[in-house]
Amino acid sequence: MQYRTLGRTGVQVSSLALGAMNFGAIGRTTQDEATAIVDAALEGGINLIDTADMYGAGESEEMVGKAIAGRRDDIVLATKAGMPMGDERNHQGSSRRWLVTELDNSLRRLGVEHVDLYQIHRWDPNTGDEETLSALTDLQRAGKIRHFGSSTFPAYRIVQAQWAAREHHLSRYVTEQPSYSILQRGIETHVLPVTEEYGLGVLVWSPLASGWLSGAIREGQEITTSRSTFMPQRFDTAIPSNRARLDAVEQLAKVADEAGLTMVQLALGFVTAHPAVTSALIGPRTPDHLHAQLAAADTVLSADVLDAIDAIVAPGTDLAAHEKFDTPPALLDPSLRRR
């Protein structure tokens, strides 16, 4: 396992981090299975665990809390807030009112007194940067969080938040958590240059592209992955973007075979090779999935392999641009671009 400094925090984190989204109902993972995954991850050298309040409506946090009981100080613990937690309109977003309340809820579910990294799950266009940063700064000064970061923010919002922190003399986001994989490389165009400019740590999610790069999806085979059962439209190869992904996967499989690598090693080795990336978040549902992903912990791709990947999916290219989560609201809502 490699270890890297998380932005400018001085905190050392593993290049592979454990994402806990699949703990509980989402991944049909029991507490015993979740604890076994955490045990194996820690044994394999992982020291960063990332979860969120909305994963299973708090169930993931509860399971993580039970799994790490008695060894809290050995773990860099991260969680997120901001996505809806029920139907109440104010139980979401990044207002002071909600963050102060929801952090206490997360701490209770996790069974801890503080988290090391508290992240805003998505940019909230209804709340000003000063409001959010002021609340986070106060929570940091109260000792409930050590650092805070953003998740899936557009590049211009990352820049704006950095300037707002400076203008109002507040603490700033020290990390960003974007989606990044061989098949979704759009963040190379704007987000990663910005995180490098401001010295942010980068924790990338979905490095296996929702299973497309797991090795389980190949031409001529029925797609039966867990994700495909509840998101079938993302795996329907009659859709042009999915056809493009499958074509790329077939070419990438040849690159992996020639390099003596699994698809998982190729995928994780690719994202962790970028100098702006600190850690890749893996989200195994079973111990077997975890061990297959841990095998990539020391994978270093040669320049020839990286060049071959670039020839298949060009730098800065998203093969499924419509699946982006950081699209500016005005591109999604016509009323926002008309007087």
Distance CA 307, CA 208 (A): 19
Cβ(241)–Cβ(247) below 8 Å = no
Q: Tokens in use for 290?
A: 């975890």
How many C-alpha atoms does 85 have within 13 Å on its Cβ side? Answer: 23
Torsions phi, psi for 206 (to 5 deg): 55, 45
Name the 3-class secondary structure at 20: coil
Q: Tokens in use for 209?
A: 């592209």
Angle, vertex CA 37, rays to CA 33 and CA 43, nearest 5: 145
Angle, vertex CA 35, rays to CA 76 and CA 43, nearest 5: 60
Distance CA 30, CA 242 (A): 32
Of residues 55, 118, 173, 180, which has the active-site annotation?
A: 55
Distance CA 50, CA 149 (A): 12
118 among known catalytic residues: no
Q: Which residues are catalytic?
A: 55
